[in-house]
């Protein structure tokens, strides 16, 4: 059986294309094992401040520090995203309960952290691997602490709840109800 030069060329091209495509399809990154005790160790308020500061230091997107908000169950930020089509503004709100796993990796001297739920929830680039890991640790630690109630700030005092309320209707023969 003889094969024409043109057919041979197409066959070589298809084999080369197949080899190229399968070379990039290796196993995915393993999920990062986060330190889920970080919030308990630092205390919730300190952990919120640390996450807020860390989000403000992200290399990409460029988070504007004044817009970062960290609560017991989510974080929110607004950022300038320098994409291939120019500058854009991004608003991102991630609920810790939706995060199923995190990936932390390095590519060409750039460090990334991706939060994964049903879909990709958020992905940030960091200057150092330590920042990427600390971000992942804080997010997964907040998720692990969702079952615990939010702790009040130290400067707020608990309010007293009366154990018995005065009757709305006075007894017969008594005067007006107390003020």
Please state the pTM of the whole predicted model. Answer: 0.67
Flag whether pLDDT at 94 surpasses 50: yes
- Residue 62 domain-assigned (yes or no): yes
CA gap 147, 144 in Å, rounded: 7
Q: What is the CATH number of the domain that holds 109?
A: 2.30.29
- Residue 61 domain-assigned (yes or no): yes
- Residue 110 domain-assigned (yes or no): yes
- Residue 34 domain-assigned (yes or no): yes
Higher pLDDT among residues 145 and 14, named by residue: 145
Q: Which of 22-36, 71-85, 123-137 has the lowest mean pLDDT?
A: 22-36
How many other β-carbons are positioned within 10 Å of the β-carbon of residue 59?
16
- Residue 16 domain-assigned (yes or no): no
Q: What is the mean pLDDT of residues 91-117?
A: 96
CA gap 105, 9 in Å, rounded: 39
Domain count, the chain: 1
- Residue 137 domain-assigned (yes or no): yes
Flag whether pLDDT at 169 surpasses 60: no
Q: What is the pLDDT of residue 34?
A: 95
CA gap 150, 44 in Å, rounded: 8
Q: What is the pLDDT of residues 127-158, one digit of tens each?
A: 999 999 999 999 999 999 997 665 554 454 44
CA gap 15, 175 in Å, rounded: 100
User: What residue numbers bound the domain in which 97 lies?
Assistant: 30-144
CB contact set of 58 (below 8 Å; sequence gap of 6+): 79, 124, 125, 126
User: Would you list the DSSP string of 72-126?
Assistant: SSEEEEEEEEEETTEEEEEEEEEEGGG--EEEEEEETTEEEEEEESSSEEEEEEE
Q: What is the mean pLDDT of residues 89-116?
A: 95
- Residue 5 domain-assigned (yes or no): no
């Amino acid at each position: 059986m003889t094969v024409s030069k043109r057919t041979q060329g197409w066959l070589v091209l298809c084999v080369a294309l197949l080899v190229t495509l399968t070379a990039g399809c290796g196993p995915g990154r393993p999920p990062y094992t986060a330190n889920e005790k970080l919030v308990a160790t630092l205390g919730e308020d300190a952990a919120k401040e640390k996450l807020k500061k860390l989000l403000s230091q992200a290399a990409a997107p460029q988070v504007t520090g004044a817009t970062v908000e960290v609560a017991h169950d989510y974080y929110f930020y607004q950022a300038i995203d320098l994409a291939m089509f120019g500058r854009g503004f991004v608003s991102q709100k991630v609920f810790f309960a939706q995060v199923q796993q995190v990936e932390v990796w390095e590519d060409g001297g750039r460090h990334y952290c991706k939060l994964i739920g049903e879909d990709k929830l958020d992905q940030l680039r960091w200057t150092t691997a330590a920042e990427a890991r600390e971000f992942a640790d804080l997010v997964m630690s907040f998720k692990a602490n969702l079952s615990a109630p939010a702790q009040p700030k130290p400067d707020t005092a608990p309010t007293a709840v009366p154990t018995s309320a005065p009757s709305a209707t006075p007894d017969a023969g008594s005067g007006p109800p107390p003020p």
